[in-house]
Structure 1
Amino acid sequence: MRVILFGATGMVGQGVLRECLLDERVEAVLVVGRSPVGAGHPKLTEIVEKDLFALEPITGYDACFFCLGVSSVGVAPEEYERITYQLTLSVARKLPENTTFVYVSGQGTDSTERGRVRWARVKGATENALAKLPLRTFAFRPGYIQPLHGITSKTTLYRTLYRVVMPLYPVLRRAFPRMVTTTEDIGRAMIAVAADGYRKPVLENTDITAAARPARPAGS
């Protein structure tokens, strides 16, 4: 399987990239972003493009893992919609038909697009628009995501929060299995869904955990 990855320098994207490079089912990874990931690997190729709206169509890949995003906190509504909705659709429309497109959405996304929470409406609109494209689309709706394997968030406040929560994560996962996951599980689940599909197009937190459950092939 050949994979395109957007958002590889972010926390979720770092985790997905790690799993792609470890998994024997993934033979090649094309990372597309505004800055290089700074890691060399035989599977890895990079495209650095400052204006992602200007990307040319990309062919020759089986799946696209879209982990690029921005928090709605402190971001103007127009800019949040431009990145969350417009950029996601711009990229998706440049892929060949039947490409598997896995989009990182969020727990609480509003599929009706009529709720009071703006970010949830925008995410819902993005999911709905993607579902209408001639792609094999899946939306991931993780809740709290615990970074593993030295992966960190770019946001200082979040980095502090994750350090505090890390020792408590096993307890949180047992107590709130519908609300918490890890960067590792998201990466493994994306690969599994791209390889084998899933019974529904929108994966909530428990679905992500279930999809990630199969063991990685021996020797990886």
Structure 2
Amino acid sequence: MHLILTGATGLVGAGTLEVMLKTEAITRISILSRRPVAMVEGHEDKAKVIIHKDYKSYPTELLEQLKDAQGVVWAQGVSQNDVNKEEYFQITHDYPLAAAKAFSTLHPESPFTFVYVSGEGATQSPGITTPIFGRVKGQIEQALFDLGKQTPNLNVYNARPGAVDWRHHPEIHKFMPHQALYKKMLLAPIDAVYKSMMTPTRSLGKVLTELAMSQGKPLKGKDLQMEGRLLPNVAIRRLAGL
């Protein structure tokens, strides 16, 4: 099985890549990245990094390299605090939507599964206090869902992890981006009081990978939304066996 991954140098992407590399059923991983991915070293027989600068454009030569991929985990993202509003919308909304449209053309006769990593706080019903990330991620969740309904072979899942916890996933520690001290300090009380909001990277990577490997059929469960295609963190934890 051939899967695509973006955001491999980020926290969620690193956790997902580590799971993909250990999954025997996955024989090929195409990583779209703006820069080299250190975790791939020693795994070049399975994982290939494709340096890609413009995530709104997918030329024929790139799609040719991806033509037999069956799914993608779109883990690329950025904090709303690190870029301006226009850049945030482009990265969070325009990039995955352009990719979903392009990847749906890889093999129109068979399913392609697009797994978008959103986040708790995303909403399709924003209020005056809803932060930018909640509005924009809610918009792209809806746009991908609508595109999936309009495109017969494109199957979309929107996953909303909560507080992403890397502490017990040592395999990725030297590859993941530096985490601010305040984030580390926040995880302990959340874990103690609001455990349902925690999202361990290993468990998250496993769920995202399994979704991308699936045929993309709607999931079942009372904790799901968008006709079985939106997974709040409680659903992610349930599927991970937590």
What are the residue-to-residue correspondences of 1:24-43 with 2, within 5 Å? Answer: 24-38=24-38, 39-40=40-41, 41=43, 42-43=45-46
Match of 1:46 in 2: 49
> What residue in structure 1 maps to residue 177 of structure 2?
154
CA offsets, 1:175-215, max 9 Å, x none? 3232111111111001222334532211111111122239x
**Match for residue 118 of structure 1 among 109, 115, 132:** 132
**AA matched with 2:10:** G
Deviation (angstroms), 1:164? 4.0
Answering whether residue 214 of structure 2 is matched by residue 186 of structure 1, we say: no
Do the aligned partners of 1:146 and 1:162 also contact (CA within 8 Å) in 2?
no
C-alpha distance in structure 1 between counterparts of 2:24 and 2:186, whole Å: 32
Q: Percent identity?
A: 30
The one of 154, 158, 169 equivalent to 1:139 is 158
Amino acid at match of 2:237: T
Tell me by how many angstroms 1:94 deviates.
Answer: 0.6
Determine helix, strand or coil for the equivalent of 2:203. Answer: helix
Structure 2 gap ranges (5+): 221-227
Other-structure match for 1:106: 119
Q: What is the SS of the residue equivalent to 1:94?
A: helix
Cα distance in 1, alignment partners of residues 93 and 126 from structure 2: 13
Whether the aligned pair in 2 keeps the contact of 1:193 and 1:211 (CA below 8 Å) is: no
**Normalising to structure 2: TM-score of the pair?**
0.78
Q: 2:144 aligns with which of 126, 130, 139?
A: 130
- The 3-state SS of whatever aligns with 1:181 is strand
Partner-residue secondary structure (3-state), 1:54 = coil
Task: After TM superposition, give the deviation of residue 24 of structure 1 in Å.
Answer: 1.9
Instruction: Give the Å deviation of 1:84.
Output: 0.5
- The count of corresponding residues between Structure 1 and Structure 2 is 209
Consecutive unaligned residues of structure 1, counting only runs of 5 or more, are 215-220
Mapped partners of 1:74, 1:44: distance in 2:
29
Q: How far is the alpha carbon of 1:74 from its aligned partner?
A: 3.9
Equivalence for 2:233: 205
Answer yes or no: is the 8 Å Cα contact 1:113–1:122 preserved in 2. no
Q: Give 2:96's aligned residue.
A: 88
Aligned partner letter, 1:161: Y
Cα distance in 1 for partners of 2:139, 2:195 equals 27
Structure 1 range deviating more: 64-73 or 146-155: 146-155
Q: 1:51-92, CA deviations, whole angstroms, 9 ceiling, x for partnerless residues?
A: 222332342111110000010014211110011101111111
Give 1:2 shift: 1.6
RMSD of Structure 2 on Structure 1 (CA): 2.2
Q: What is the letter of the counterpart of residue 102 of structure 1?
A: V
Q: CA deviation at 1:153?
A: 4.8
